[in-house]
Amino acid sequence: MSLPPTPRWPLPKHDYWSTPFAESLLQHLNLRSGLRILDIASGHGIPAFYLADHVGPTGEVLAIDISAGQVGRARAIQGSQLPWLRFDCVDMRALPPDLPTFDRVTGNLSVMFFRPNRFEAVRGLVERLTPGGQLVLTFPSYGTFDSLWQLVDRAMIQQGLLNERDRFQAYLKERPSAEEGRTWLEELNLERVEAIEYPLEVETGPGNEFLHHPLLRGGFLDDVYECFQDQDLAEGFMVKIAEDILSFTPLMAQRCVLSGWKKRDDAL
């Protein structure tokens, strides 16, 4: 699928997490001018600005995020440009009943925010699709950073941290897999369903570079810290992990793309 060259609002090259996931989303999105798009978990605008640039003034993009701060930052970036793009503070798990339907529903790095009822959240998105419309979602699927989690698990066993390990395993099992995502779309009667993973290497050095890595802290590594009631114990545990990065590098994420089309005669 070819996209128009040299967009005026390209995906930012300096974003080493959101942009690679958005690139995988765009590989599967059927995008053209005039489309009406709902972009969920829109953050500060990756890929909402890109989408709006490509649908043009005959189209419409509604970008929603539950974070008022993210919405505010996106509006500040937008200014008076792309007037057919609107950023609103909305919970994608509880969409307003008067929300119209859209030709496309997209969500970059979105599925992990659907908790606790992921299937119901996806059902709500499919209900907002026009017949013949396409849903495309990306997320880091089960298996992301698996080499690190295996080392963490072994270290917890060796150190007798059994309660912490139980909580850690519960975190891992909660993360959706590509196959689980495919099942959601098939159960919702979508057609041309795809669930495809693309590897993404995240580079890091040892010590504080790992412990405070911008793509790891504030999310993935915090899941380990939250398994400990004693945060001093957690810090000591993670410092030792950070000294042994050769045991889990290269550190690979899995970019999963879920895509499906709503049947033209489908009524959910």
Distance from chain centroid for Cα 184:
16
| Model pLDDT, residue 110 | 92
Q: Cα separation of 65 and 135, whole Å? A: 17
The boundaries of every CATH 3.40.50.150 domain in the chain are 18-141+176-201+254-261
Start-to-end Cα distance in the chain: 29
Average pLDDT by stretches of 10, the chain with 268 residues: 62 93 97 97 96 97 96 96 96 91 97 89 96 97 95 97 96 91 97 97 96 90 95 97 95 97 75
Q: Is there a contact between 125 and 17 (Cβ–Cβ < 8 Å)?
A: no
What is the residue-wise DSSP string for 158-202?
A: HTT-HHHHHHHHHHHHHSPPHHHHHHHHHHTT-EEEEEEEEEEEE
Residue 39 and residue 3: Cα distance in Å, rounded? 18
The C-alpha atoms of residue 55 and residue 32 are separated, in whole angstroms, by 6
Rounded distance, CA 28 to CA 134, Å?
10
The amino acid that residue 258 corresponds to is: L
- Name residue 262's amino acid: K
Q: In what order do the strands lie in the sheet with 85-89?
A: 85-89, 60-65, 36-40, 102-107, 129-140, 251-261, 191-202
How far is it, in rounded angstroms, from Cα 180 to Cα 38?
23
Q: Which long-range contacts (CB under 8 A, 24 or more apart) does 2-5 make?
A: 3/31, 3/54, 4/54
pLDDT number for residue 219? 82
Structure-block tokens of residue 152: 């963490």
- Specify the pTM: 0.92
pLDDT score, position 238 = 97
DSSP β-bridge partners for residue 107:
40, 137
Class of domain 18-141+176-201+254-261: alpha beta
Question: By C-alpha distance, which of 124, 126, 143 is closest to 135?
Answer: 126
Task: Return d(Cα 184, Cα 174) in angstroms, integer.
Answer: 15
Q: Are 218 and 254 in contact (CB under 8 A)?
A: no
